[in-house]
């Protein structure tokens, strides 16, 4: 259509096995790369799925973006993070290294919640095996959830 959306009818629904519809759109983000936006809906079981994947080539030279969060509404800023990006929060000595999380589109708050959730996954075992590291990670989790 006029917006560059491709419609793929008769797409297999993984939930009920009937046919649904997939819509795909390519979108170029300046200073980043191409996004592939896909949406599936099944009229039989009403299952829906929306995905964003990254297409195109990864640029040889990245760019650095700095956001100073000064007020609560800054946490609502939208971020497009590739899987090869690094996120640093120097105020709490925290870093998400490249290739440790999938790329995503989220808000600053959403990224912080995801990071806290991922750190908490093995926290009980970490506290038992290495209590000093476990306590330090617990403090990071607390700071991420209180931002």
Q: What are phi and psi of 81, to 5 degrees?
A: -115, 125
pTM, two decimals, is 0.66
Query: Cβ-count burial of 42 within 10 angstroms (0-12 exposed, 13-18 middle, 19+ buried)?
Result: buried
For the segment 121-133, what is each residue's pLDDT rounded down to a tens digit? Answer: 999 999 999 999 9
For the segment 38-92, what is each residue's pLDDT rounded down to a tens digit? Answer: 899 999 999 999 888 877 776 666 778 888 888 989 999 998 887 788 899 988 8
User: Which token pair is 144?
Assistant: 């991420």
Is 82 within 8 Å of 111 (Cβ atoms)?
A: no
Is 42 within 8 Å of 48 (Cβ atoms)?
A: yes
User: Whose CA is closest to 118, among 78, 80, 87, 91?
Assistant: 87
User: Which token pair is 123?
Assistant: 């926290």
Average pLDDT estimate for 104-127:
90
User: Whose CA is closest to 23, among 45, 44, 43, 1?
Assistant: 1
């Amino acid at each position: 259509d006029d917006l560059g959306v491709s419609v793929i009818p008769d797409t297999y629904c993984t939930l009920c096995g009937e046919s649904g519809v997939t819509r795909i759109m390519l979108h170029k983000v300046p200073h980043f790369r191409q996004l592939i936006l896909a949406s599936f809906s099944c009229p039989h079981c009403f299952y829906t799925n929306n995905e964003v994947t990254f297409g195109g080539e990864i640029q040889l030279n990245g760019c650095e973006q700095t956001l100073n969060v000064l007020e609560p509404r800054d946490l609502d800023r939208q971020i497009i993070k590739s899987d090869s990006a690094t996120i640093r929060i120097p105020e709490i000595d925290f870093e998400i290294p490249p290739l440790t999380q999938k790329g995503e589109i989220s808000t600053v708050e959403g990224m912080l919640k995801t990071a806290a959730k991922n750190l908490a996954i093995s926290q009980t075992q970490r506290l038992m095996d290495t209590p000093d590291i476990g306590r330090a990670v617990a403090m990071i989790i607390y700071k991420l959830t209180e931002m």
